[in-house]
Each structure stands twice: as structure tokens, then as C-alpha cells.
Amino acid sequence: MVSKVVAFLTLAVLTLSIAGRAEAQPADYRTIFTFSAPVTLPGVTLPAGKYIFRLADPDSSRKVINVLSEDGKKSLAMLQTIPNQAMKAPKDAEIRFMETSAKVPPPVKTWWYAGKAIGYEFIYPRKQALELAKATSEPILTTTQDTTDLANAELSRVTGSESNQAAVTVEQEPPAREVSGRAQQADVAAAPAQTQSPACGESVPEANARRRFLGCWRSLSRSIRSFSR
């Protein structure tokens, strides 16, 4: 009987621990970054300040990154990306910058979430990419032709001049590579926006936590019944 009680308690701790970890990680990977100077993103230059980066559309092949104000109330940019894979997942969320001259606000190349080997490389509009190519030796991800439809356009990487470009194939599981560029770690993971459930007035995270707890409790109750037989 003692061995059954020990097994039950172990199961209880493991089940509730897993539920807690799953609830703690934001589904949209929202993360806060603080910039001490202006930075360049596709189509926009952000002044120094705090910003939230989050996945706007986790189910699309070209992930859309939403950049918001620090309080999460104002959307500042919706940016197209493609997946990159790192040799080793970063311990902390981070972004990587391209190296440029001091006259150009550093362009953000990729965004990586803590513990995830798959990151997101930003697609720059072609005109902006060609301008940036003059200030950096790194290849810049852009569209093969001038277009505003970054979500569906054929892609290439340009280096130095318009004629020096290489076609890019979008892969959901690209080959792993060493991550390059200057790294900046995130401040903290931002709390998801609090919306209300019309059924009971709970916030969405609270409702999710309650459902997970009840599911775990039902599972444990079944285990108790089986042990007592």
C-alpha cells in the first residue's frame, strides 16, 4: 500500500508541474526588448525604448512578427519572416543584429525565443535591403523583385549590389547553422494581454490554468480510484 501512495504522490507532482510549465510559456512567444539607441526593422526605424515582439500568426509558413509598444496597446509593425534553425537553442530570448557602419541604426536580422532552436529571419523590402547592402557585408533577406507582397513573393539574399543575389528556398525545418550577428538578450517574457471570458469574468490565462488544473485533478482522481481497488 505504501508503494502505491508513493507512486500516486509522484504522479501528482509530475502532472501538476508539467501543467504549470505549459501555462507559463506565452503561446505567441511575446518578449520585451529594450533598445538604448534606434534600430532598423523592415520598413521602420524604432527609436530607443522598450518594445514587445510577438508571433502574430503562429500557423503560417512565413511567420508574422508583431512589434508593439511597451504597454502592448499600439501595434508598430507587422513583419514577415522565414524560419532559421540554430545549431543550439539559445538559453534566453534574443535578437541578432547585422554589422553596419555607425551612421546606420543597426538592422535586426533574426529573433530567437528562449529554448527554441527555430528562429525567425526578417524579410526586408527590396529597396531598403539594397540600401542596407551598401552599409554591411552580410547578405540581406529580401524579395527577388520589387513588391509589397512580402508574404508570397519569391525571396533572395542580396550582397553589395542588386545584381549580386542568391535565391532562397523557404523550409519549415531548415538545416541547422551557426547563428551570426551581435546578440542582444531580452528583458523578460511579457505577460499576455488580459481579455475577459464572457462566461465567468476570468482572464484567458486564469481560465486556461483552471481548465488544466481540473484536467489534472480528474486524471489524479482516476489514479486514486485505481490504487484503492
**pLDDT tens digit sequence for 5-59:** 444 444 444 444 444 444 456 789 999 999 999 999 999 999 999 999 999 976 6
Whole-model pTM?
0.73
pLDDT computed for residue 9 by the predictor: 41
Is residue 79 within 8 Å of 70, Cβ to Cβ?
Answer: no
**What is residue 164's predicted lDDT score, i.e. its pLDDT?**
76
pLDDT for position 219: 62
CA distance 62 to 66: 13
The pLDDT value given to residue 51 = 98
Average pLDDT for runs of 10 along the chain of length 229: 46 44 69 96 97 85 90 96 95 95 91 95 96 90 94 91 79 89 86 47 44 57 58
How would you classify the pairing of strands 155-159 and 161-168? antiparallel
Element containing residue 174 per DSSP (H, E):
none
E runs forming strands in 36-193: 39-41, 44-46, 49-55, 64-69, 75-86, 94-97, 108-112, 118-122, 140-143, 155-159, 161-168, 176-177, 182-185
Strand ranges inside 87-214, DSSP E: 94-97, 108-112, 118-122, 140-143, 155-159, 161-168, 176-177, 182-185
Q: Are 25 and 114 in contact (CB under 8 A)?
A: no
Rounded CA-CA distance 145/170 in Å is 16
Contact between 109 and 130 under an 8 Å Cβ cutoff? The reply is no
Which DSSP letter does residue 118 get? E
Name the nearest CA neighbour of 112 among 133, 87, 142, 129: 87
Q: What is the pLDDT of residue 189?
A: 65
What's the pLDDT score for residue 102? 77
Structure confidence at residue 107 (pLDDT): 96
pLDDT at 223: 57
pLDDT value at position 173? Answer: 84
